[in-house]
């Protein structure tokens, strides 16, 4: 549709609800108005809608209707996923005739407008800081590209480049891939994490997980890092714990113990991701926040006494004899610390005896898995002071 000024819009009035006939006057150019049959029933009373200028579902998310519009410009094509603070949708941008992704931030009813704006502005600040540093001639695309931000019916949104899909959605593609193709993913994530910490202030992503690692294209294993909704700007050596961050299965000990943290929490998450790429299953598949530390102890054992004594919050999880207070998960199963180590250690076993071409290929994969397992252990260090950095990890992976 060619953009039209409002005075030329008499011919589309049948496609507008009563509320939109008033709302549309605030828009200078109109590119797409949506289909009337997917909108709110045009025969209902619009008083509350006119008062609030919001459409809420039960959980305060924008009501997504396929073939409706965003800001009289974007056609809603499909939902791509939900996060803690918003929804991501696939849209067609009728201004530039491009397919894009839009992140719509939740409008939480018990928050003030300023509080809702803060969630949106925090992510926008991170994105602007990232791309202020980004040299397109020197650096490859490491993060989701964003184009603009706006507000529609009191819901903030950001428009992004649309990528192929994430690691969680395309687990079959990963399962069927070679170890060298998996190394491409690992290297790209490490390059992104290194970029986040290469200048001051550093940026902590704080939600590294398969859903936030996106393939650049259908036929490529190169990825970009997305979703900076939980990210933090690190102006000093550490940030004090204030609220829960990181998705549970990829959550670092610092966040579990509620102690000061820095960018090394992302390296813990990466260790979990590397295992998941190798084993095609999550490493710390816990069923609750309470369970998570039980599973961590089960697989990698108990931290040192020195680490336990390093912060009073850590000691709360252990007895005076340095034993975990809880070793039973929520399914009433006893998980003795260290007894699950074979989930990782089995990758230390590979044969070097055969010489033929097929076994040489298997040997090479076994050697890479062996070295990746060593790297996982370096990522899964309870103590961030000795946990490996992105720079150190990248040097290891580049040599594989």
Where in the chain do CATH 3.30.200.20 domains reside?
A: 6-161
CA 143 distance to own-chain centroid: 11
Of 126, 213, 135, give the one whose Cα is nearest residue 174: 213
pLDDT of the residue at 58: 52
Of 102, 109, 192, give the one whose Cα is nearest residue 147: 102
Cβ–Cβ < 8 Å for 271, 282? no
Mind giving me the DSSP string for 250-296?
A: G--HHHHHT--B-THHHHHHHHHHHHHHHHSS-SS--SSHHHHHHHH
pLDDT of the residue at 131: 85
Q: Which residues pair with 4 in a beta bridge?
A: 30
- Distance between CA atoms of 213 and 144, rounded to whole angstroms? 10
Could you report the average pLDDT of every consecutive run of 10 residues in the chain (400 residues)? 56 81 91 87 46 53 91 96 87 97 82 74 92 66 92 92 93 91 97 94 97 93 94 95 95 98 98 96 92 97 98 97 94 95 90 50 83 97 98 96
Overall fold of domain 165-398: Transferase(Phosphotransferase); domain 1 (1.10.510)
Asked if omega into 201 is within 30° of 0 (cis), the reply is: yes
pLDDT of the residue at 354: 44
Overall fold of domain 6-161: Phosphorylase Kinase; domain 1 (3.30.200)
Cβ–Cβ < 8 Å for 32, 94? yes
Where in the chain do CATH 1.10.510.10 domains reside?
A: 165-398
């Amino acid at each position: 549709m060619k953009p039209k000024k409002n005075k030329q819009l008499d011919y589309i009035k049948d496609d507008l609800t009563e509320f939109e006939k008033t709302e549309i006057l605030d828009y200078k150019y109109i590119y797409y108005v949506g289909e009337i049959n997917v909108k709110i029933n045009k025969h209902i009373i619009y008083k509350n809608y006119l008062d609030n200028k919001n459409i809420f579902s039960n959980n305060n998310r924008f009501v997504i209707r396929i073939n409706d519009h965003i800001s009289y410009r974007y056609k809603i094509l499909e939902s791509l996923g939900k996060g803690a603070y918003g929804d991501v949708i696939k849209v067609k941008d009728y201004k530039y005739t491009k397919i894009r992704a839009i992140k719509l931030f939740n409008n939480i009813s018990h928050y003030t407008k300023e509080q809702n704006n803060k969630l949106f502005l925090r992510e926008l600040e991170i994105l602007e800081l990232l791309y202020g540093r980004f040299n397109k001639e020197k650096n490859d695309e490491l993060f989701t590209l964003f184009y603009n931000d706006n507000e529609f019916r009191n819901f903030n949104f950001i428009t992004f480049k649309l990528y192929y899909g994430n690691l969680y959605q395309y687990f079959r593609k990963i399962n069927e891939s070679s170890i060298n193709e998996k190394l491409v993913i690992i290297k790209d994530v490490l390059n992104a994490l290194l970029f986040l910490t290469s200048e001051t202030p550093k940026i902590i992503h704080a939600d590294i997980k398969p859903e936030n690692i996106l393939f650049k294209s259908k036929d490529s294993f190169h990825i970009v890092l997305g979703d900076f909704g939980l990210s933090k700007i690190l102006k000093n050596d550490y940030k004090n714990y204030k609220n829960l961050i990181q998705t549970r299965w990829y959550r670092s000990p610092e966040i579990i113990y509620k102690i000061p943290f820095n960018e090394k929490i992302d390296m813990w998450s990466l260790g979990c991701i590397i295992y998941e790429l190798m084993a095609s299953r999550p490493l710390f598949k816990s069923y609750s926040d309470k369970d998570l530390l039980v599973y961590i102890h089960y697989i990698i054992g108990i931290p040192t006494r020195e680490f336990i004594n390093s912060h009073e919050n850590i000691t709360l999880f252990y007895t005076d004899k340095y034993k975990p207070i809880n070793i039973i998960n929520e399914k009433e199963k006893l998980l003795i610390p260290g007894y699950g180590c074979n989930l990782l250690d089995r990758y230390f076993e590979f044969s070097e005896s055969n010489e033929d071409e097929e076994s040489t290929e298997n040997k090479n994969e076994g050697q890479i898995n062996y070295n990746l397992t060593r790297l996982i252990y370096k990522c899964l260090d309870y103590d961030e002071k000795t946990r490996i950095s992105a720079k150190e990890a990248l040097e290891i992976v580049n040599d594989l």
